[in-house]
Amino acid sequence: MGLMGCLLIITVALLKGATAESYVVGDSLGWTVPPNTSFYSDWTNSKTFHIGDEVLFNWTGTLDHNVAEVSTLAEYENCTKPGIVYLSGYTANLIANGSRFFLCTVDNHCELGMKMIVTVGSPTNTSSTLAAPPPSDSSYSAPSLTFAGALVSVFSLIVVSLFNYV
């Protein structure tokens, strides 16, 4: 990796004071129908998520599962199936504090525990809606993002891209 890459990594480290984490949801199990309904809450409870982190949803059998995001705890608890679903390899970028609600819309997987709340920052009330509007993960220009945060996101993206090249 070139000097530019090193400089970027140093900059990211200086800006954040720590490196952003990239988590694979469910670790070795991945994103699938879990052995019990507390599996994914156990998984998230074992983590402390920060702004800038990302969670990767990974599974085998492309159409066996999907990942979708709902906006409210009520929808999450109801296993409401939104229209937009993502395929394996989907990465949710945690760009703001608050809770985000993920589930699988295939068959009754959600009811079987294939659902997960990711909370960034202090556990605020998930009783109503998101702290921020549902973020679009393909966009790094969410209005709630601070300038430093945006910078970190962009730089992280570049660093990740560089890693993919070496």
Ligand X SMILES: *[C@@H]1O[C@H](CO)[C@@H](O)[C@H](O)[C@H]1NC(C)=O
- Residues lying near ligand X in the complex (CB under 6 A) are found at 24, 35-36, 38-39, 56, 58, 60, 74-75, 78, 80-81, 97, 121-122, 124-125, 127
25 binds Cu ion (CB under 5 A): no
Q: Which partner in Cu ion, ligand X, none is near 45 (CB below 5 to 8 A by kind)?
A: none
Phi then psi for residue 34, to 5 deg, are -80, 160
Cα–Cα distance between 122 and 13 in angstroms, integer? 23
Q: Which is nearer to Cu ion, 113 or 149 (CB)?
A: 113
The size of the interface with Cu ion (CB under 5 A), counted in residues, is 5
Tell which one of 29, 85, 106, 150 touches Cu ion (CB under 5 A). 106
Q: Which is nearer to ligand X, 8 or 126 (CB)?
A: 126
CA nearest to 81, candidates 66, 91, 98, 60? 66
Q: Tokens 């999450």 label which residue? A: 76
Cα–Cα distance between 135 and 133 in angstroms, integer? 6
The crossing angle, in degrees rounded to 10, of helices 3-16 and 147-165 is 140
Tell which one of 8, 25, 96, 104 touches Cu ion (CB under 5 A). 104
Q: Which is nearer to ligand X, 5 or 75 (CB)?
A: 75
